[in-house]
Structure 1
């Protein structure tokens, strides 16, 4: 990781702003989150891109912020200070790809969300489970007969996208050509960063791919989500930018967080071999275990931006209009005032009202699908790869330098054999 390391500070004093960057922070942010929670619910923070924001950390404060209708998501609410650093996706791509659900407020958000929810209902997810299991088994069949293997390239980076393609109606020939590297366009790369040309090349590649998906669905429409979005665009019910943005959100947000959550869940289990063995021997624990793994180390570490339309009080902190407010889901999910022994991985934890999928009107519409994917992925890997273990030292895990998420691009493992 090449980002600047945060300066060391006195244990009793938090810097102003708190830098959210550097390898120690990305590998284990929880000690810092603990200090922040103890000091108060809201803190000024600094991201590697230079963006300054207000971070909400405690469970009660996070839950309230996620349901606070004063806090809007539309980028038009951002002030000039935020826009100077955070609006790093250049025009015209920003206007064409950033008007999806995550950046909308009611009533537009309400009307746009209706177009996608039917595809992700718990009932439909359950109907598709046998197909998802076939996809998982096929990927495990392609792994080496015995370790080592990289479970990101061999499984975690491929399974969620194959599932997503089934759910939204992405044809196989187009799904096979999707470049996971395009998903990195959500990772900030400033205008003067040496990696800017590569960033813009990814943007152009993704835009061309989305245009191809739209053209294919216009010619070969079916009863699926992508086809319905294209029909809505042609009828004038959704704009071109709205449809392109929604497809962009589906392709990126529908895959990468699940890929990362598979890796964070496996790493947590590798660090707790007794819990791994218990889950392997009793698959009936999977639904509850997945909820605990989501709480324990969520792949969606931080939410995207929220803004006050006018200066407002946020749990005792005055936040200027247009400054970005971000909720730390990971910090909320480790709050001891809500979860007893929050740093303990307890597969029997119940109730478990974690915030890994957010809360309120922006609660993840794909939560039921993500839960099913995690249950199938973990159950399949633990059952079919006996002796599964981490093949590198824990300290050698390279955590992705993403601003909002947690995960790793490589997870070398060993196992006795492939069943």
Structure 2
């Protein structure tokens, strides 16, 4: 990590200069920058590594308002040519075939598509599946070395959410075993001239072929599960082929990688607060409230995906041109001192805790109940079965993923006294 890289600054004298959201110091700890942005105002012009410029919403009230603003649409068709030149990097035909999922739809299309997935993720159904999730978590811990060190990501955090997701959506065991986590990186921007472009396109083709195989299997082997229901909806022409493929794409990528990342941010936060970690280990009854605080304190969904006005519009005193991208910083909103007392403190007793880690409004994460259950089970299992669990590298040596919208780490070396 090149800690000598300068942090982006907020220059109130040059409001048109975009603030760069990039570099190792920013990814390792974006909160000082978010604090300066909040203090300077609710909306700022920012620059992403891909060259995309966007309008970033930072404060809690502004973020909450933007997430519920029906003037802001999610469809990529709203993006102007300036945005499209830099942001629409997924090549055709894959862009048209895999990018028409829920995150990129507006009502009434969004309403129609969302109803196909909500029943699979209801809190009541998730509660019924908790014993099975616990079995999966215990089996993964059983496979860890009897004593540390171990990589908590490759040994647990990268595997548990996908195994749970497979159970919830009905992904066949053979198909689940063949899923390559590397395919999830297709959501990380790789421009047409980037040296890694060919590898990016190989991932994309691999994932698309995998989705086609899953659809073919579920069409031949129908069951009472989400994937079978989606395929049946396509066969009844209630979904187009592109909508079906895109929704499976979203389930496979957005349905498990953010939980993996949230597990890593949660564990890092607890390692940095050993007193809170010890307290949670001693009283697992704190887990539901602790999970909410860990979601607020350092969310894996750092930023939302694009939103667009269809005409030049005022956004909290800033004129935003039609088709420019608007992005909400969930992490900045969740550390706003005007909404949360001592926001930089990890407080497992915090209540109420109206964080925005799962978004808000019509695009509130449909898998929120599942993610909460996964986090509670995963943290409880790790703290109970790995006594003495601690970080096995220096805090400054943690390598944070360079993803534009998310926070997390691909490796988290840990030590522990023994495996129970």
Query: How would you bin the TM-score normalised by the shorter chain?
Result: over 0.9
Aligned 8 A contact 1:264 1:406 in 2: yes
Q: Deviations over 1:119-149 (max 9, x none)?
A: 0000000000000000000000000000000
List, as ranges, runs of 4+ consecutive aligned residues in structure 1 with deviation greater than 4 Å: 4-15
Could you say which residue in structure 1 is the equivalent of 2:262?
A: 261
How big is the alpha-carbon RMSD for the aligned residues of Structure 1 and Structure 2?
1.5
Question: Does residue 128 in structure 1 map to residue 146 in structure 2?
Answer: no
Q: CA deviation at 1:235?
A: 1.2
| Alignment partners' CA distance in 2, 1:225 and 1:45 | 38
| Alignment partners' CA distance in 1, 2:59 and 2:205 | 39
Could you say which residue in structure 2 is the equivalent of 1:342?
A: 343
Counterpart of 1:43 in 2: which secondary structure?
Answer: strand
Could you say which residue in structure 2 is the equivalent of 1:273?
A: 274
| Alignment partners' CA distance in 2, 1:13 and 1:282 | 51
Q: CA deviation at 1:83?
A: 0.1
| Alignment partners' CA distance in 1, 2:405 and 2:223 | 35
CA gap 1:151/1:316 in 2 versus in 1, 3 angstroms: same
Q: Deviations over 1:232-291 (max 9, x none)?
A: 111111000000000000000000000000000000000000000000000000000000
| Alignment partners' CA distance in 1, 2:337 and 2:394 | 29
Could you say which residue in structure 2 is the equivalent of 1:300?
A: 301
Q: Deviations over 1:359-385 (max 9, x none)?
A: 000000000000000000000000000
Structure 2 gaps of 5+ residues are none
Structure 1 gaps of 5+ residues are none
Could you say which residue in structure 2 is the equivalent of 1:170?
A: 171
Aligned 8 A contact 1:6 1:19 in 2: no
Q: TM-score, normalised by structure 1?
A: 0.98
Counterpart of 1:176 in 2: which secondary structure?
Answer: helix
| Alignment partners' CA distance in 2, 1:173 and 1:8 | 46
Q: How does 1:42-81 map to 2 (within 5 A)?
A: 42-81=43-82
Moved more, 15-24 or 121-130: 15-24
CA gap 1:10/1:180 in 2 versus in 1, 3 angstroms: closer
Could you say which residue in structure 1 is the equivalent of 2:229?
A: 228
Could you say which residue in structure 1 is the equivalent of 2:87?
A: 86
Q: TM-score, normalised by structure 2?
A: 0.98
| Alignment partners' CA distance in 2, 1:131 and 1:11 | 52
Number of positions where the alignment pairs a residue of Structure 1 with one of Structure 2? 419
Aligned 8 A contact 2:10 2:37 in 1: no
Q: Deviations over 1:65-115 (max 9, x none)?
A: 000000000000000000000000000000000000000000000010000
CA gap 1:7/1:336 in 2 versus in 1, 3 angstroms: closer
Aligned 8 A contact 1:5 1:21 in 2: no
| Alignment partners' CA distance in 2, 1:345 and 1:8 | 25
CA gap 1:233/1:11 in 2 versus in 1, 3 angstroms: closer
CA gap 1:363/1:402 in 2 versus in 1, 3 angstroms: same
Question: Does residue 180 in structure 1 map to residue 181 in structure 2?
Answer: yes
